[in-house]
Amino acid sequence: MSGCRAVTKRAAGVMIAVVLLGTVQLSRSNLEDALPHVDECSVCMSCHVDTSPAPMRLRTEDLLPEHFMPTDVKEKQLKPFCEACKGCTHHLHILARSGSKYIFNRTFHDEAGASNNWLFTAATNLTASGRAIVKVACIPVGKIPVQAHPQCLAELTVKFAKIYLALEKLVEECDLTDIIPKVWVQPISAVLPEIGYHIRWHAIWMEQADGISLENLVRLGNPMMHPNDLLDIMHNRLNKTQVVKAAIFDLMTSQCDRHAQNIFIGESGHLTLIDNERALYENGWCAMDSIFLPATKKFTINVMENAWVNKFKNWGTKVPQCWANVPLLLDYRCYVPGGQLGTAWPRGVQRCLAKLAGMSAEQIRHEYGFPNLVTATALKNRTKAMHEDGFESAMLHSYPVNPSPWRYRPAPSCCKIIHTDMYRCGVPWNPDTAIPFGDPIGGLPWRRDSPDPGSYVGGT
């Protein structure tokens, strides 16, 4: 009998627990049903994710400026403040506060980015990792306090979105998807963390890159990385095949913003190139500027002192010195026979270049969805030169071209770096420190009140 009573008490306890759990769930469901929809709130501090995301957009011709900005600002302001609401598609986490990464035996934090656009992370079923970076324009709240009146550049965002989607198709055809994260455009309904502002328009989504930025790797980390450990990663782990692919991609697409924050390195040495929208002569001024391309300013700064390359006024009469900064190990010439790539393209690139060289700019624009003929023509001209004349000739002579003050003579490669009191080239290396005439800040003629320290016409 005692055994029967024990079973009965246990069963009764389970029944009570089930009833209580059901009551709690019912109460929670009733509470959520009673919540206002986020569309009915001016601001909502906590939004329940209970709505399926809208489909992503793949047709670039469908994208308009109004897709990337709020269109109901006045109406929204008249709605009530909500402490909690329902109807969101995603929870957003601010990228710069999204936690730390433990990689290379130390802790790192992702950078916030320099643009006006907010960067978030969010869950998604469209990437292998289940996470994505979400870039949102036109949020009327500054990322930092000094941005009291952030700009809404919806037309520029449309242009960049179209470039991203066109490049997505291009890298698939050229077998370069291993170095470029997946990108798509998708509507979002979510609230700005801690502020509650309702984001209710399209965002540019991209697969979250594995690893950390080169800037992070070289300069940050807790504890700070020892120079010998950093050199071990760059010499022995770095994926050299992907370095060559990165140089090809940056030349082909006329990348103009390939600095150390836009290059991610995974623990295995895998490379990922992010923020690729400053491309294809989209601004009508910059034709290429990349750590991977020796004839550009960003590469040259790693050879000579930044103050010398940028011609800072307080330079005085000092003699410029050259030292081997770590990013020089991203020089493609170190990883191709004889330091010349020529037309020895990786598999897939040759086929891709041949196809593009045979198309008109209008055909390229229509097939890939580029935003205008300027960007399509830039791709047409560059790929035709690469296909017919090879990498080095296209880098130095093909169109589009940089303004003269941004056309540098390529320094010799330094494929081995050592660290003593500072980073130095481990082989005989004596770059010419001459720099072009003109203003390197904007690529304009020299108009400052001090003598121009340049000594040759850029591109000669």
pLDDT tens for each residue of the chain, 460 residues long: 444 444 455 455 545 544 444 544 445 556 677 899 999 999 999 999 999 988 877 678 889 999 999 999 999 999 999 999 999 999 999 998 877 889 999 999 887 766 778 999 999 999 999 999 999 999 998 876 656 678 899 999 999 999 999 999 999 999 999 999 999 999 999 999 999 999 999 999 999 999 999 999 998 888 888 999 999 999 999 999 999 999 999 999 999 999 999 999 999 999 999 999 999 999 999 999 999 999 999 999 999 888 999 999 888 778 788 889 999 999 999 999 999 999 999 989 999 999 999 999 999 999 999 999 999 999 999 999 999 999 999 999 999 999 999 999 999 999 999 999 899 999 999 999 999 999 999 999 999 999 999 999 999 8
- What pLDDT, on the 0 to 100 scale, is given for residue 2? 42
The DSSP secondary structure of 182-222, one letter per residue, reads -EEEEE--EE-TTT-BEE-SEEEEEEPPSSEEHHHHHH-TB
Question: Edge-to-edge strands of the sheet including 212-213?
Answer: 212-213, 263-265, 271-273
* Among 200, 169, 223, 160, residue whose Cα is nearest residue 371: 160
- What pLDDT, on the 0 to 100 scale, is given for residue 298? 97
pTM listed for this prediction: 0.90
- What pLDDT, on the 0 to 100 scale, is given for residue 145? 60
- What pLDDT, on the 0 to 100 scale, is given for residue 28? 53
| Rg value, the chain, Cα | 27
CB 287 within 8 A of CB 400: yes
- What pLDDT, on the 0 to 100 scale, is given for residue 395? 98
Query: What are the C-alpha distances in Å from 382 to residues 23, 279, 404, 434?
Result: 67, 12, 18, 27
Query: What are the C-alpha distances in Å from 162 to residues 244, 277, 278, 360?
Result: 26, 9, 12, 19
DSSP H or E segment with residue 87: strand 85-88
- What pLDDT, on the 0 to 100 scale, is given for residue 34? 87
- What pLDDT, on the 0 to 100 scale, is given for residue 223? 87
CB 264 within 8 A of CB 211: yes
- What pLDDT, on the 0 to 100 scale, is given for residue 222? 85
